[in-house]
Chains A and B, each alone.
Chain A
Amino acid sequence: MSGTARPPAIDVRGLSLSYRDRRTHERRRVLDGVDLTLEAGTTHALVGQSGSGKSTLALAVTGLLPGNAAVEAGTIALQGKVPSRRELVVARRHVLGFVPQDPLSSLDPLQRVGRQLASLLRSRDRSLSRAAAKQRAVELLDQVEIERSAEKYDSYPHQLSGGQLQRVLIAMAISGDPDVLIADEPTSALDVTVQKVILDLLLRLRSSLGLAMLLITHDLALAGERSDAITVLEHGVVRDSGPTTDVLAAPSAAYTRRLLADVPALAPDRFRETGASSPVCERAGDDDPILTVRGLTKSYHDAAGGPNRVLRGVDLTVRRGSTHAIVGESGSGKTTIARILASLTPYDTGEVRFDGAPAAGGGIPIAGPRRLQLISQNPLAVLDPRMTVRQLLEEPLLIHTELTRRERRAEVTALLDRLDLPAELSGRRPKELSGGQRQRVAVGRAIVLAPEVLVLDEPTSALDVSVQANIVELLMDLKARHGLTYVFISHDLGLVRQVSDTVTVLSRGQVVESGLTHEVLARPTHHYTRTLVDSIPGLPHTTRKVLR
């Protein structure tokens, strides 16, 4: 750590802030006496769940709060000085750099990325000529390690991958030669392996440019691996703060301890202890398979007309009563497999057997809705917004059973109880529920017909760690109670290690490795699996290549 004589890059003292509801005009406190000190040249992680006020804090620092926000108390000093409104505008140009969460929505889709970068440069420095701005923009793209930067300068946002877009935004953030970088969940929209690469890049830039970085994240494991100091925020109140190693080794707040326990990567054996995985499952899944997939292929026609081969001969065997994980990055074909198993997408060649019987094809489902159900990543999308929770849970019963109205009501009430949803939610619509509650309703719709197999397509990736832990707990509990078989699709190897018995690693539509989860993850033989394993943040044997 250099320059201890320098004043802290950001010094927030006793910040209290509230939002006024635009309709009721009531004030809602979002930050309550928050202290945070970002020392120059260090990385400080700000950790909290959604709604904890962490993004609001970032907005407050940059002076970009919405009009209905009011600072009630406290000060925010930048480099030892509380800036005036005017100074803050200058600071945004030359002192602060901001990396947003969702790279795609932060760029104009109709402008070439290089031009967006160049026009940003010219808006800062009017004397810069077009040619010079372009040259500087390409340099910046080089600096954020975009390959063939001169070529990528002329790309539109949709032509770049998520990782490349995030690099462009990082280039924008450092274009003003800032002293402080604020990264608001810079990688949560990205794949794990890309996440790792982007974080490496950010930390490398941080040290080479001598920046201070405020890293906002909900992932405590990631924060633990990448930061010097950490502040844990819950409901706008600081629960824990201090040097990262101290906070993680001996968290003083109960909240931090719970967060730590909820991170799958930090508690690999959480569900083993609860008996989710019985000793029987320690065998490979060859005997008594409920699902067998052989040589499955599928291609889509892409815009250019050529076939885009999504699956290239996939083999899978899922043993009855086990949890089989399918792991891979986006684009590896995971979701396509889930959709094929759920008979939502036809496949080209290969064979899918459910419970011994080969699929008939020709639009006949591989397994009927009473035997196999799909749970998808985004519960809000799959729940009809016009229906109440009760109607949503009742619908499968209405379609498939002859139950009377009264019996259906009783069934739904019992189901709500099993899902751990309070009965008073039954009149709510999906929009009025929290993310976790929505996913519970989606799970309820899937299990109300008592299927044998659940295909879970990233069931928790849209949720906060603690909520994720709750949902996973519910799923494991349901599995134990009803003897379900799970096909668990995820990109989160930490979670997969927690819940699954067997695993198939998928890369570009091909199986690169499969076997018992603990064996595959402990001794990955394929380099792709190794990359995936290495990108689990906070894993004990991960080499901590943190550049400090």
Chain B
Amino acid sequence: MVLDETAGTVRRTHRLRNADPLLVLAVLVLAVIAVFVVAPGAVSPHDPLSAVGQSLQPPSGRFLFGTDYLGRDIFSRVVYGTRTTLLGSLVAVTCGLVVGSVLGLVAAYFGGVVDVVVGRLVDVLLSIPGLLLSMVIVVALGFGTLNAAVAVGASSVALFARLMRSEVLTVRELGFVESSRHIGASTTRILLRHILPNSYSSVLSLVVLQFGASILWISSLSFLGYGAPPPQPEWGLLIAEGRDYIVSSPWLVVLPGAVIVAMVLSITKVSRTVRRRYES
């Protein structure tokens, strides 16, 4: 056993030295995006809201991603839009995770009527296409980034609840749950200290997946005009605005789109690695 432990540290340093190049790339992308979020002013060369050059300039040294139909620098708009978009996804995922996990946990642990009620609720949510549901909610709540995020979060509640429920159903039958009850642990303690920590690992990996999906969804909602109002820079909105010029100036759509793709792929890559390490 002691030998195993030292082997573990050897293994870790060993791994660092010949790390997966894709993983390194993914971490770099996320680091750059983190800088975008924390200090957009330091990175972006121009003011994202005012015209700084001629309209519809192709990408160049001065305008990395070119300019839009008003002559605003696309790159600066992408940089400034990061915070809005990521904050939106964060809110969306948190909503889905918290509400969904609690519903799933409670349904699975208590069973019976609770399970039936939650189960049907989840069925209803699942029966409506996610994007449609988000649109209905966002229309009801009013337009805006935060509302769009809540709407996306609400439509992922069902997903989280389902997964959590199935995990908890397995975990609650395990010996250590009964053993804790035998020792005299309260229901709250069993739920929070034993069942939750042992069932959330797959839910957490869904969080990361869902984070990527939320970026796309919020972008979609913005694209359709339900999200951040113009001229606020937001990734989905940027693509929506560029759509009219897709033939003459494809970079308006392609480059911000590429940023979204890079971001989502990087998150997925990193999460998968983390999960694999966590499991082994």
> Which residues of A pack against B, CB within 8 Å?
21, 23-24, 26, 342-344, 368-370, 373-374, 376, 378, 381-386, 395-396, 399-400, 428, 432-434, 445, 449
Contact = CB atoms under 8 A, between A and B. Distances in A.
Contacts of B7: 21, 24, 26
Given A382-B176, A385-B198, A24 B1 contact: no
B176 A369 contact: no
A400 B7 CA distance: 39
A381 B183 contact: no
Given A24-B10, A385-B198, A434-B1, A399 B179 contact: no
Contact of B180 (A374, A395, A434, A449): A395
Contact of A381 (B14, B174, B180): B174
B197 interface: yes
Interface of B: 1, 4-5, 7, 10-11, 14, 174-176, 178-186, 189, 193-194, 197-198
A417 B174 CA distance: 29
Contacts of B182: 342-344, 369, 373-374
Contacts of A400: 184
Contact of B183 (A23, A428, A445): A445
A407 to B, nearest CB: 19
A384 B183 contact: no
Contact of B175 (A368, A378, A432, A434): A378
B1 A433 contact: yes
B180 to A, nearest CB: 7
B280 to A, nearest CB: 8
A384 B184 contact: no
Contacts of A395: 180, 183, 185, 193
Contacts of A24: 7, 10-11, 14
Contacts of B1: 428, 432-434
Contacts of A399: 183-186, 189
Given A369-B184, A396-B184, A382 B179 contact: yes
Given A24-B14, A382-B176, A385-B198, 4 more contacts: A24-B10, A344-B182, A373-B183, A399-B189
B169 to A, nearest CB: 17
Nearest to B6: A24
Most A CB contacts (10 A, CB to CB) among B1, B180, B183, B194 go to: B183
A373 B182 CA distance: 8
A246 to B, nearest CB: 36
A368 B176 contact: no
Nearest to B184: A369
Given A344-B178, A434-B1, A384 B11 contact: no
A224 B57 CA distance: 90
Given A24-B10, A434-B1, A384 B176 contact: yes
A343 to B, nearest CB: 8
Contacts of B4: 432
Contact of A386 (B10, B180, B183, B198): B198
Contacts of A384: 176, 180, 193-194, 197-198
Contacts of B5: 432
A353 B173 CA distance: 29
Contacts of A26: 7
Contacts of A386: 197-198
Contacts of A445: 179, 183
A381 B175 contact: yes
A416 to B, nearest CB: 15
Contacts of B186: 399
A180 B10 CA distance: 43
Nearest to B178: A344
Nearest to B176: A384
Nearest to A383: B176
A363 B14 CA distance: 54
A26 B3 CA distance: 12
Most A CB contacts (10 A, CB to CB) among B11, B180, B194 go to: B180
30 contacts: A21-B7, A24-B7, A24-B11, A26-B7, A343-B182, A344-B178, A344-B181, A344-B182, A368-B184, A373-B183, A374-B179, A374-B182, A376-B175, A378-B175, A381-B175, A382-B175, A383-B179, A384-B176, A384-B194, A384-B197, A385-B176, A386-B198, A395-B180, A395-B183, A396-B183, A399-B185, A399-B189, A428-B1, A432-B5, A434-B1
Contacts of A374: 179, 182
A453 B224 CA distance: 69
Nearest to B14: A24
B67 to A, nearest CB: 51
Contacts of B189: 399
A532 to B, nearest CB: 27
B7 to A, nearest CB: 5
A342 B182 CA distance: 7
Contacts of A21: 7
Contacts of A449: 183
Nearest to B195: A384
A369 B180 CA distance: 10
Most B CB contacts (10 A, CB to CB) among A370, A384, A395 go to: A384
A68 to B, nearest CB: 15
Nearest to A369: B184
A427 to B, nearest CB: 10
Nearest to A434: B1
A344 B5 CA distance: 37
Contacts of A434: 1
Contacts of B193: 384, 395
A26 B4 CA distance: 11
Contacts of B198: 384-386
A456 to B, nearest CB: 14
A434 B4 CA distance: 12
A384 B185 CA distance: 13
B134 to A, nearest CB: 35
A502 B236 CA distance: 77
Contacts of A381: 174-176
B234 to A, nearest CB: 39
Contacts of B178: 344, 382
A369 B176 CA distance: 15
Contacts of B181: 344
Contacts of B185: 395, 399
B6 to A, nearest CB: 10
B183 A369 contact: yes
4 tightest A-B contacts by CB?
A381-B175, A369-B184, A382-B179, A382-B175
A399 B181 CA distance: 11
Nearest to A442: B179
A317 B197 CA distance: 41
A449 B184 CA distance: 11
